[in-house]
Amino acid sequence: MATGDASDPRIAGIAKSIRVIPDFPKPGILFQDITTLLLHTKAFRDTIDLFVERYQGKGISVVAGVEARGFIFGPPIALAIGAKFVPMRKPNKLPGPVIAEEYSLEYGTDKMEMHEGAVEAGEKVLVIDDLIATGGTLGAAIRLLGRVGAHVVECACVIELPELKGRDRLGDTPLFVLVSSA
Amino acid sequence: MSAYKDEDPRVTRIKRSIRVVPDFPKPGIMFQDITTLLLDPQAFKDTVDMFVERYKDKNISVVAARAGEDRNPTLEFPITESLAGIEARGFIFGPPIALATGAKFVPLRKPKKLPGEVISEEYILEYGRDCLQMHVGAVKAGERALVVDDLIATGGTLCAAMNLLERVGAHVVECACVIELPDLKGRERLNGKPLYVLVESH
């Protein structure tokens, strides 16, 4: 697992722009709020630049973004590296034929869907979300993409919560994050 | 105002890249699916470029957009109309426009999604109510704002978005959408606020 180079001066600005909200969505949870990052134009630009610098020129033809905050970071990266953007969504949102992958939550399960035909066998894919916690949703995204024969090159997140060991649920897929929040 | 009428050559490719899915989410509805636009990097780039070209010298400091993730089709659209974009994806188009114009991006969301203190705008739809929220402090009085969505149908949600921004003293310069369904006359619900679209669909 790689973390953004802590000596890169942009990282500190990004980390500082993220607001922590205690007890959301429930007591005891410290919620990492990236909406404040989006209000700092330099921090948002730097976030995208750091990902684009890492992934451009690597033959990645698909950026898959996990609903909903993956939709904020994924498209700018896709546009900059000339890749398709493919949304990975909750059930019943995508029109037309989809394939679905179930994943477990703390209590129960949920499903992630992707459009049939959006990604072809052999394509190189980057999966993006704002944050990795337990790795459940990212793991589901990797499995979905694997089922159509695509190769997930890496998962990329702005923030990681390392204590939740999400990295371990990604199988062989590497993880790259900008900020680690212990 | 419509890029379609200006006959910008990029519009043809953009329009062609949008897939129409019949009978989604229910029979009789013609769903305008922009995910296929996102699979065409040139069309996606052209879409963003056309908006950026229009707004980059207009001193816009805020781009606001809805996630629309829980939009309920039966509340918004008359059942008999052919229509589209039930699942608005302003989150996809707003951020690239914000980045390219140097504006902040402000997400507008359904209740319980934004973690901090919020202000809410409830709005009436044809059959029922819905609610949009914005973080307190995200937008300041006097800021110039653009509201972006992938599609305008009846205009109800765009109107709610504008209200949220105006309540904190921002000036909404324009609403910008990829697709307009002109038969639903959403343009008229915008209280005289200008609307710019790339593609019309009847």
Cα torsion through A16, A19, A20, A22, rounded to 10: 150
Structural domain A9-180, CATH architecture: 3-Layer(aba) Sandwich (3.40)
Cross-chain residue pair B104–A87, CB shorter than 8 Å: no
Instruction: Look up residue B189 and give its DSSP letter.
Output: G
Phi, psi of B143 (to 5 degrees): -70, 150
How far, in Å, are B78, B96, B158 from residue B62 at the CA level?
32, 12, 15
Question: Is residue A156 within 8 Å of residue A136, measured between CB atoms?
Answer: no
Return the number of CB contacts < 8 Å for A and B.
103
Set of chain A residues whose Cβ sits within 8 Å of the Cβ of B102: 41
Structural domain B9-68+87-200, CATH architecture: 3-Layer(aba) Sandwich (3.40)
Q: How far is residue B134's CA from residue B140's CA, in Å, rounded to a whole number?
A: 12
Q: Which pLDDT value is given to residue B169? A: 98
**A106 given a catalytic annotation:** yes
For residue B2, pLDDT beyond 80: no
What would the pLDDT profile of B81-105 be if each residue is shown by its tens digit? Answer: 333 333 447 789 999 999 999 999 9
Q: Which pLDDT value is given to residue B128? A: 78
Question: Is residue A51 within 8 Å of residue A77, measured between CB atoms?
Answer: yes
Which positions 28-67 of A are in contact with B (Cβ < 8 Å)?
Answer: 31, 33, 35, 38-41, 44-45, 48, 67
Q: How far is residue B38's CA from residue B40's CA, in Å, rounded to a whole number?
A: 5
What would the pLDDT profile of A112-126 be if each residue is shown by its tens digit? Answer: 999 999 999 999 999
**ipTM score assigned to the predicted complex:** 0.94
Residue-range domain boundaries for chain B: 9-68+87-200
